[in-house]
Amino acid sequence: MMIGSYSFEEFKEKAAAFHGYPAPGLLIGGYMVVAARAGLAEGTLFEVIVETPKCLPDAVQLLTQCSLGNQRLKLVNLGRFALCLFDKFTGLGFRTYLDMDKLGGWPEIRGWFLKLVEKKDQNEERLLAEIEAAGDSICTTLPVQVAKAFLGRSHMKSIARCPLCGEAYPEEDGPACLGCRGEAPYVAGIALNGIATRQEQA
């Protein structure tokens, strides 16, 4: 079954080039993107929410113009294998999820998705063959209304210099940047860390 305008093989190659390998979740994600998009009228300017960081974001980025960096793709991590394409202005959209109740005839997909089979015991060839044969028949798509808080994006009003690290940051974040207020993912005070040195000087 085609994935949009791509053959399964073509999409596998695109997936491998972008993602590192043609992950099962990314291939299923391809069918999910196409299924959700089919609900939107031609020409709708849409954005996307993915409910897991696993694989689905890359299916979206490969098949649509929505990317993390242009902020038309948002991750709301709910741990569900689902995505939603919605009209960027009205929030009306379609949510597609991989449906546990539709996996009866697909033992390899079921074993992979529900983690019933350890990775080393998976038969990848059979798994990919099932994914191609199943297409979007293992998914359910339903209309949804995206909440207002998730429409549009934040625009920085003005830029300030953080008095601690000296870097530019959005002034509305407060008197110092979030990184200097405990949210930085780095170990502070380590000798090789120039940031810590600058903080000590400040």
Q: Rule CB under 8 A: which of 34-93 touch its own copies?
A: 49, 51, 53-59, 61, 65, 67-71, 73-82, 84, 91
27 in contact with its own copies (CB under 8 A): no
Stretch that binds its own copies, among 5-13, 30-38, 126-134, 172-180 (CB under 8 A): 172-180
Out of 89, 105, 193, 202, name the contact with its own copies by CB under 8 A: 193
Copy the structure tokens of residue 173. Answer: 């974040």
Strands 73-75 and 46-50, how do they pair?
Answer: parallel
Under rule CB under 8 A, which residues in 97-116 are in contact with its own copies?
Answer: 97-101, 113-115
Q: In whole angstroms, give the CA distance from residue 157 to residue 146.
A: 25
User: Would you say 58 and 120 are in contact if contact means Cβ atoms under 8 Å apart?
Assistant: no
Nearest approach in angstroms of CB 76 to its own copies is: 5
Residue position matching structure tokens 């696993």: 54
Q: How many chain residues interact with its own copies (CB under 8 A)?
A: 77
Of 129 and 142, nearer to its own copies (C-beta) is: 142
Tokens representing 186?
Answer: 């780095």
**Which residue number, 107 or 179, has a Cβ lying nearer to its own copies?**
179
Q: Please, which of residues 131-150 interact with its own copies by CB under 8 A? A: 142-147, 149-150
- Are 62 and 34 a contacting pair, CB within 8 Å? no
Burial of 145 (0-12, 13-18, 19+ CB in 10 A): exposed
Identity of the amino acid at 8? F
Instruction: Give 42 or 157: the residue with its C-beta nearer to its own copies.
Output: 157
How far is residue 82's CA from residue 13's CA, in Å, rounded to a whole number?
A: 23
Q: Among 10, 18, 45, 89, which residue sits at the site for its own copies (rule: CB under 8 A)? A: 18
Give the SS3 label for residue 131: helix
Q: Applying CB under 8 A, which of residues 1, 129, 133, 178 lies at the interface with its own copies?
A: 178
168 scored as a contact of its own copies (CB under 8 A)? yes
